[in-house]
Amino acid sequence: MSSTVQPNERMLRIAVGWCGALLLLVAWQLATANSGSMFFPTPLEIFDDLRERWFSDGLAGGFLTDAFFVDVTPSLRRLLIGLLVAWSVGISLGVLLGRIPAVAHTVEPILHFMRALPGPVLLPLALVLVGTGTTMRVSLIAFGAVWPVLFNTYSAVRRVPEGYLETARTAKVSRLRTLFQVILPAASTGIFAGIRVSTSLGIILLIASELVAASDGIGFGLTQAQRSFQLLPMVVHRRSVAARLPVQPRLERDRVRRSALAPAPDGSPGLTTPKGCR
Amino acid sequence: MTTTLLEVDDLRHTYRTRQGDQTVLDGINFDVQRGEFVSIVGPSGCGKTTLLRTLSGLLRPTGGTITLSGNVITGVPKGLAMVFQDYRASLFPWRRVGANVEFPLLGRVSKAERRARTLESLSAVGLADAADKYAWQLSGGMQQRVAIARALAMRPELLLMDEPFASVDAQTRSDLEDLLLRVREQFDMTILFVTHDVDESVYLSTRVLSLSKAPTVKTADVPVPLTFPRDQIHTRENPSFVETRSEVARLIRQASPGGLAAAAGAH
Ligand SMILES: Nc1ncnc2c1ncn2[C@@H]1O[C@H](COP(=O)(O)OP(=O)(O)OP(=O)(O)O)[C@@H](O)[C@H]1O
Ligand SMILES: [Mg+2]
């Protein structure tokens, strides 16, 4: 009985969610349409510019423009690689810490110390150590995004109910099977929470790293537009950042908007460094 | 012909905690023959779970030896299955019922054999239809039956059960008792059954052991002179049942005079 009700309920919830988003867009359109200020383009203008910039055919033909391959794909690649590294390192290390208390006691203080370093602050250091290539951006993303995954995995693994583990032990199931079929599934909620947080952190770090010494990517496009005082492309770029990975768009939008309109009021190194660099 | 399956010799366990040492098992001795159904009764906190955890190899006792089929136990032995006191914490919520029952067989027997055993075990506990549900979609009594089915699928020689029916209602409980006696015949197992209910222990067993409160020793070892199959109404009316029941109750009483009142006074 209830199984026939549940899908409907879910559909309804999804529909309500989309309606909310749509309403917001309409409100935004109405609010900006009459403002006349060049600082606040309407969503329709933004969408138009976005389509023209990236999704009308380019010289090589096809659906995507050449600008798309300069702005978007390099960023996506960096983000993906960086996050994959962060996730695999974070999960493995988290499981290790969670399962072997001796290891946890030894390295936990060091880890907390390292976590306390905010990712963007490491940017200058990363520049010096790893240079200005893709490796720098990927390692910055990986380093910054590893912590939420690591600590979430660690605490989730530690909280796996003893009953599950004892069941596995009395069943004489191998250690590997216990890891993959008991510990990881039991800890999965916590692990995924970490992955979610790490994704939005990764985006922040990606943009931050691309604001410095880059020749392509979203962050690069953003600085280009900012320098040439093109408001619309700027908005499009930061919008695309938020839309591409709708994991935690709010956090991302806030940060980029703040830094784009009034360069780094919070002293974040993201937007101030490129000027200094030149 | 009976042969000894399990020998427990001067078993001791002391928990070492920051608050100090607590001796829970203080020299327990008993043997279990193949095919017996032995119940262990004792007051709450006397160390029944501790005893089963040492027998199952999950906990290394601080003293004494346990021998199963002639081998001294050092880790979790083969041929043993355990039904835990808290079934909620032992069934995996991300696996369906059938997959839970199948779990101990993974990597050990072929897929076809796993299927067959899972179905057989679930049928034995009357849950063949529930294989594709999740455990949390079942009632408490049904979940405990799943836990029993999982133990059965392992085809254990020795089945350890830790107050398996403590958290179900009276009707379900007597149903589960009869179910347990049936599957015992069907699967030809030796069972060690922990309970705090004297009636239940006599109804199910061929022998009842009673434990004192901690530091725990064995206070009684009473054979039950009743034949199988047993019946909830008739067996419980049987004079031998009533007599054995009273004897066990008396022995428990003698071992801890005053019961809870004395225990409370001792604190
Ligand atoms: N891991 C542990 N560390 C320290 N003390 C423990 C531990 N487990 C149990 N104890 C103590 O050992 C004693 C016996 O516990 P146990 O769980 O074996 O009792 P029990 O007979 O199974 O009780 P119940 O009938 O309530 O299930 C209790 O006093 C308990 O506080
Ligand atoms: Mg107990």
Q: What is the pLDDT of residue A122?
A: 74
Pairing of strands B80-83, B4-17: unpaired
Helix, coil or strand: residue B99: helix
- Whether residue B267 is contained in a domain is answered as no
Per-residue pLDDT reduced to its tens digit, A166-179? 999 999 999 999 99
Same domain, B70 and B169: yes
User: In whole angstroms, what is the distance from residue A12 CA to residue A6 CA?
Assistant: 10
Residues from chain B contacting residue A181 (CB–CB below 8 Å):
103, 106
Chain-centroid distance of CA B132 in Å reads 27
Is B157 an 8 Å CB contact of chain A? no
Segment of A6-15, A27-36, A266-275, B55-64 carrying the highest mean pLDDT: B55-64
Give the residue numbers spanning the domain of B102: 91-155
Q: For strands B37-41 and B207-211, give the pairing.
A: parallel
Give the whole-angstrom CA distance, residue B176 versus residue B193.
Answer: 13
Structural domain tally of chain A?
Answer: 1
Residue B51 CA: nearest ligand 1 atom is 18
Residues B99 and B190 in one domain: no
For residue B187 and ligand 1, the question of a CB distance below 6 A is answered with no
Any chain A CB within 8 A of the CB of B116?
no
Q: Per the domain annotation, does B122 fall within a domain?
A: yes
Tell me the pLDDT of chain A averaged across its residues: 75
Q: What is the pLDDT of residue A5?
A: 55
Q: Is the pTM of this model over 0.90?
A: no
Residue A238 has pLDDT above 70, yes or no: no
Residue B77 pLDDT greater than 50, yes or no = yes
Cβ of B19 below 6 Å from ligand 1: no
A90-149 pLDDT, tens digit each: 999 999 999 998 888 888 888 888 877 776 777 777 777 777 777 788 888 888 899 999
* CATH code at position A250: 1.10.3720.10
Instruction: Give one word for B10, left, alpha or beta, with left for phi > 0 and alpha for psi -120 to 50.
Output: left
Q: φ, ψ for residue B31 (rounded to 5)?
A: -120, 150
- Other Cβ atoms closer than 10 A to B57: 19
Name the domain count of chain B.
2
Instruction: Name the residue with higher pLDDT: B201 or A129.
Output: B201
Same domain, B103 and B173: no
* Ligand 1 pocket: which of B15, B17, B211 to mutate (most atoms within 8 A of CB): B15
Q: Are residues B72 and B38 in the same domain?
A: yes
- pLDDT tens for B44-66 read 888 999 999 999 999 999 999 99
Residues 6+ apart with CB under 8 A from A177: A168, B106, B107
Tell me the CATH number at B242: 3.40.50.300
Is 60 exceeded by the pLDDT of residue B235?
Answer: yes
**A186–B90 C-beta distance less than 8 A:** no
Percentage of residues of chain A with pLDDT beyond 70: 70
ipTM (interface predicted TM): 0.87
d(C-alpha A36, C-alpha B131), whole Å: 65
In a domain, A228, yes or no: yes
Nearest CA to ligand 1 atom 2: B15
Cβ-based interface (< 8 Å): residues of A facing B? 161-164, 166-167, 169-174, 177, 181-182, 185-186, 188
Question: For ligand 1, atom 10, which residue shows the shortest CA distance?
Answer: B15
B151 confidence band (pLDDT: 50, 70, 90): very high
